[in-house]
Amino acid sequence: MRLDALAVAIVFILTLTLMIHQYYISIFWIKEHKLECWIRAEEILNMLLSGETFEEYVEVRLVSRHGMIQYAVNKLDYEPKAISYTYRLLSNSTLIYCKVYCKG
């Protein structure tokens, strides 16, 4: 067997192993952090619409036929573990976009 073919096979196996390992780490991170943050974003949007208070930093955009209004709720004085967003269509045909910076 030629040495260059053996080297190519070893590099291919190492690259494939590295890609599978990175994929596993990414999936684990998504399941642990992003999914929890998205669920928290849904909860915060419900709290925001009902007038309740919360601790996370949130950016809100209201998009309607008359234009867009953008504002922030609370201060970003922490390092977010994940950032997630959610949309909701209100009864008056206004789209509300809620971007949440989840605490770690």
Of 68, 66, 73, 31, the residue nearest 51 (C-alpha): 73
- Structure letter (DSSP) for residue 75: -
Q: What are the CA-CA distances from residue 62 to residues 12, 47, 67, 91, 96 (Å)? A: 50, 16, 8, 13, 5
Which residues does 55 contact at the CB level (< 8 Å), separation at least 6?
Answer: 74, 103
Q: What is the extent of the structural domain holding 59?
A: 3-102
* Tally of domains in the chain: 1
pLDDT in tens, the chain (104 residues): 688 889 999 999 999 999 999 999 888 877 778 888 999 999 999 999 999 999 999 999 999 999 999 999 999 999 998 899 999 999 999 999 999 999 87
Backbone φ and ψ of 92, nearest 5°: -95, 25
- pTM (global) more than 0.85: no
